[in-house]
């Protein structure tokens, strides 16, 4: 199976009761992923931090509740954001007309050898080398 990098918005939707259709879709897809080999789900330290921030700020969960939700993602491989990834992101930002933060996600996914990036922040179907963007919510607009 493909190695799939999950962006913050996908993780957030698994908890977002304010978006019930996207929440259901995210949970269904997550259940499918959890039935596959352990090295399929990939996130980065950036995504992990952004999830915590969204849980405590947007969803107004306590730090303890947010940490408990972080622990639910222990099955995912976590890519640390390194100097090499930051520099690759800077190059992507300059050449691919995407924000630096999106470029950091793409560079982390590429460094982990991912085939797919699940996000709603980039154009569905866009490719960055072998990495293909997939918006799991594209048909829900």
- At 1, the pLDDT band (50, 70, 90 cuts) reads low
Q: What is the mean pLDDT of the chain?
A: 94
CB atoms within 10 A of CB 62: 10
pTM of the model: 0.94
Enumerate the domain spans of the chain: 4-135
Burial class (CB in 10 A: 0-12, 13-18, 19+), 103: buried
pLDDT of 38 > 70? The answer is: no
Tell me the pLDDT tens digit for each residue of 92-135. 999 999 999 999 999 999 999 999 999 999 999 999 999 999 99
- Rounded Cα distance between 89 and 93, Å, is 6
Fold of 4-135: Rossmann fold (3.40.50)
For the segment 15-28, the average pLDDT, to the nearest whole number, is 95
- At 34, the pLDDT band (50, 70, 90 cuts) reads confident
């Amino acid at each position: 199976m493909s190695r799939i990098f999950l962006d913050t918005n996908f993780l957030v939707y698994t908890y977002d009761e304010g978006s019930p259709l996207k929440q259901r879709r995210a949970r269904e897809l997550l259940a499918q992923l959890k039935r596959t080999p352990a090295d399929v789900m990939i996130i980065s330290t950036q995504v992990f931090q952004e999830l915590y921030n969204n849980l405590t700020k947007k969803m107004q969960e306590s730090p303890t509740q947010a940490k408990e939700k972080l622990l639910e993602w222990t099955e995912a491989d976590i890519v640390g954001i390194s100097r090499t990834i930051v520099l690759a992101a800077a190059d992507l930002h300059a050449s691919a007309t995407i924000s630096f933060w999106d470029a950091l996600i793409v560079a982390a996914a590429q460094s982990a050898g991912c085939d797919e990036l699940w996000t709603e922040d980039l154009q569905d179907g866009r490719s960055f080398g072998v990495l293909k963007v997939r918006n799991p919510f594209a048909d829900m607009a």
